A and B are shown apart, each in its own frame.
Chain A
């Protein structure tokens, strides 16, 4: 990990990983969704609306996984002062927020035919909405910290760590409280889903994970380039 924390080494890797992640992600996510929508069968109880699962579940996992990555990067920034950790945390925040928002909207659209309502204030939906607000707050904090200079980056990092408390709450909400939302169908090593639903879901998850990774790499490259531009202009101004 320490070896990859070098910005020059990271950029060398990111230059070929970005198009690779993007191309593989587009092919896998696109293929899996076409499979799920046009080939996979309808569900006996939920009918055609079960096809929303191939979009809703990967975005939910990545919304939660994004904050887990943000918290780990924040920990790394606070403890080991990795030069790339703060940049990685900032780069994850926007795609994390976007995926959490897509999860909420697609879930709401799914809820109307499945539950008869667009929204309920139960544990799962509310904790997922809290995750979206945490992302938005992190983005605002990180922007403010950047304007104040490097010394302010500790506050978003601490916020990133504290916000991680919400991740187990989202995960266990359907077990702790009564909910319209179903309990997890897939747990470590076990699945309650039939293979004809599970296979496109897993391919879709891999595809969206690669797209998420491509976005994070692009945003890290943009943030690094901005830092390098500022440093260069500052050096030139001092030399003049």
Chain B
């Protein structure tokens, strides 16, 4: 019988890398989209 030697910490690290990376991208993209839209609105007000 053959057993796989799994290092459990590799799975924990992979899960956190995916999760935290995803949340960071979501936060950054939402922040930039909000700033861009509000700058455009303020620019349109001045024109």
**Interface set of A (CB-CB < 8 Å, partner B):** 18, 22, 29, 33, 37, 47-49, 51-52, 55-56, 59, 94-95, 98, 101-102, 105-106, 109-110, 112-113, 208, 211, 214-215, 218-219, 221-223, 225-226, 228-229, 232-233, 236
Contacts and interface: CB of A to CB of B under 8 A. Distances in A.
A186 B13 CA distance: 25
A215 B11 contact: no
B19 to A, nearest CB: 4
A218 B18 contact: no
A98 B22 contact: yes
Contacts of A98: 22-23, 26
Contacts of B20: 33, 55
Given A218-B31, A219-B33, A95 B26 contact: yes
Contacts of A112: 6, 11
Contacts of A109: 11, 14-15, 18
Closest 7 CB pairs of A and B: A225-B37, A48-B8, A218-B30, A222-B37, A225-B41, A218-B34, A222-B34
A221 B38 contact: yes
Given A37-B12, A106-B18, A236-B44, 8 more contacts: A49-B8, A59-B19, A94-B26, A105-B18, A110-B11, A226-B40, A229-B44, A232-B41
B22 A52 contact: no
A229 B37 contact: yes
Given A102-B22, A109-B14, A214 B37 contact: no
Interface residues of B, number: 27
B30 A47 contact: no
A232 to B, nearest CB: 5
A106 B18 CA distance: 7
Contacts of B41: 225-226, 228-229, 232
Given A218-B30, A221-B37, A37 B11 contact: no
Contacts of B19: 55-56, 59, 102, 105-106
Interface in B22-47: 22-23, 26-27, 30-31, 33-34, 36-38, 40-41, 44-45, 47
